[in-house]
Amino acid sequence: MPTERIETVVIGAGQAGLAMSHHLSAHGVEHVVLERGQVAQRWRSERWDSLCFQSPNWNMNLPGWPRLKADPLADPDAFSPLHEVTHYIERYAAAIRAPVRSACAARSLRRKPGSRALQVYTDDTLYEAQHVVVATGPYQVPRPTLALGSRVFELHSTQYRNPAQLPSGAVLVVGTGNSGVQIAEELCRAQRRVFLSVSSHERIPRRYRTKDCIWWLIATGSADATLREWKGARLSRLMTGVEGGHDIDLRRLAADGVVLVGRLMAAENGRLAIADDLRSSIAHGDESLGAFNRRCDDVAREKGLDLPPADPAGETCPDPLQLREPIRSLDLAREGVNSVIWANGALTDFGWIDLPVFGDATTPRRMPLHERGVTSEAGLYFIGLPWLHKWKSAFLFGADEDAAHLAAHIARSAR
**Every domain of the chain and the residues it spans:** 3-140+348-414, 142-342
pLDDT at 319: 67
Whole-model pTM: value is: 0.94
Rg (CA), the chain: 23
CA neighbor of 127 nearest in space, from 107, 148, 147 = 107
Q: Positive or negative CA dihedral for 256, 259, 260, 264?
A: negative
The residue type of 62 is L
Q: Which stretch of DSSP H or E encloses residue 337?
A: strand 337-342
pLDDT at 234: 58
pLDDT at 1: 85
pLDDT at 322: 59
pLDDT at 367: 86
Q: Which residues contact 293 (CB under 8 A, 6 or more apart)?
A: 205, 208, 310
Helix, strand or coil for residue 386?
coil
Q: Positive or negative CA dihedral for 315, 319, 320, 324?
A: negative
Answer yes or no: CATH 3.50.50.60 is held by domain 3-140+348-414. yes
- Three-state SS string over 60-99 comes to CCCCCCCHHHHCCCCCCCCCCEHHHHHHHHHHHHHHCCCC
For 299, phi and psi rounded to 5 degrees? -65, -40
How many residues make up the chain in this entry?
Answer: 415
pLDDT at 227: 82
Give the whole-angstrom CA distance, residue 12 versus residue 136.
Answer: 5
pLDDT tens across the length of the chain (415 residues): 899 999 999 999 999 999 999 999 999 999 999 999 999 999 999 999 999 999 999 999 999 999 999 999 999 999 999 999 999 999 999 999 999 999 999 999 999 999 999 999 999 999 999 999 999 988 888 888 888 877 899 999 999 999 999 999 999 999 999 999 999 999 999 999 999 999 989 999 999 999 999 999 999 999 999 988 876 655 568 899 999 999 999 999 999 999 999 999 999 988 999 999 999 999 999 999 999 999 999 999 999 999 999 987 655 666 665 556 788 999 999 999 999 999 998 888 899 999 999 976 655 557 899 999 999 999 999 999 999 999 999 999 999 999 999 999 999 987 6
pLDDT at 317: 66
For 273, phi and psi rounded to 5 degrees? -90, 130
pLDDT at 259: 95
pLDDT at 262: 95
